[in-house]
Chains A and B, each alone.
Chain A
Amino acid sequence: MKLKEIAELLKCEILIGEAYLEREVKFAFGSDLMSDVLAYTEEDTVLLTGLCNNQVIRTAEMLDLKSVVFVRGKKPSEDIIEMAKEDDMLLMCTDYSLYAASGILYSHGLEGTEI
């Protein structure tokens, strides 16, 4: 699924990386626990999370994830957004909860990572 489609479905506000909206992802993973993200996420995955600190960006960086959606209306601070810029990431935020956002994407065909 194109990141652009995800942005539209979740009515996202783009925080940084608008140029990357044409990129595609194969899977989505939703979690506030970066430990689990590190253990289970494959490449080509969009991360949905309600955690809003710089370790989210570090985690995405280590996993080569290029897109993060912050759920529940959370918005990271400017220094966190700057970190994502260095790694050419697309950061977006949505007012939907993690459950609702996941449900919307899943029902439109975006599958979860196999555990």
Chain B
Amino acid sequence: MYRLQRDESDLAMMKAFEVSNEDFSSAGTASSKIKKILRQIGMDAGVIRRIAIATYEAEINVAIHSNGGHIEVYIKSDKVDIYVEDTGPGIADINLAMQKGYSTATKEIRELGFGAGMGLPNMEKCCDDFYIESVVDEYTAIKMTFNL
């Protein structure tokens, strides 16, 4: 389900990926595909790297915290918009979740190498424009814009 309004102006290519919450080991598959697509287009390596990091962090979050969701990549002539939306518990206090080191991840997730509370701040750092909204027990939706 779409939570955020899409901006389709100047759209050159759109790709959509489902993200499951069932198999943590497959988390990162969508980000890996996105990275390969951007590389094929011949986008600047530094931008690709920032998009890859932010998308992977988002994908891990969806896999860890939600009941599943999707990632959509809107490629335009001067920027890339990435929408990440899930259904699930949502985030009660977004300001708190944006703080470095704050995490609600379980011990099991930490043992897998995640849940350090760096995901959301890192996403914000990587992109040029970051927007997040969430409703508890319903969804979390993020839009990240990367200028080319």
Q: What is the interface of chain A, defined by CB distance below 8 A to chain B? A: 32-36, 38-39, 43, 51, 53-56, 58-59, 61-64
Contacts and interface: CB of A to CB of B under 8 A. Distances in A.
Contacts of B115: 35
Nearest to B105: A35
Interface in B104-143: 110, 112-119, 121-122, 125
B70 interface: no
Interface stretch (B4-12, B23-31, B83-91): B23-31
Contact of A62 (B56, B116, B117): B56
A35 B56 contact: no
Contacts, number: 68
A43 B49 CA distance: 9
Interface residues of B, number: 26
Contacts of A59: 56, 113
| Interface of B (DSSP majority class) | helix
B119 A35 contact: yes
B118 A39 contact: yes
A63 B56 CA distance: 10
B97 interface: no
Interface of B: 24-25, 27-28, 31-32, 35, 45, 49, 52-53, 56-57, 60, 110, 112-119, 121-122, 125
Given A55-B27, A62-B52, A63-B53, A36 B32 contact: no
Nearest to A42: B49
19 contacts: A33-B110, A33-B113, A33-B116, A34-B113, A35-B115, A38-B56, A38-B57, A38-B122, A39-B122, A51-B112, A51-B113, A53-B112, A55-B25, A55-B60, A55-B112, A61-B32, A61-B35, A62-B31, A63-B52
B45 A64 contact: yes
Contact of A55 (B28, B117, B118): B28
B21 to A, nearest CB: 15
A17 B112 CA distance: 25
Contacts of A64: 45, 49
A38 B126 CA distance: 10
B49 A63 contact: yes
Contacts of B45: 64
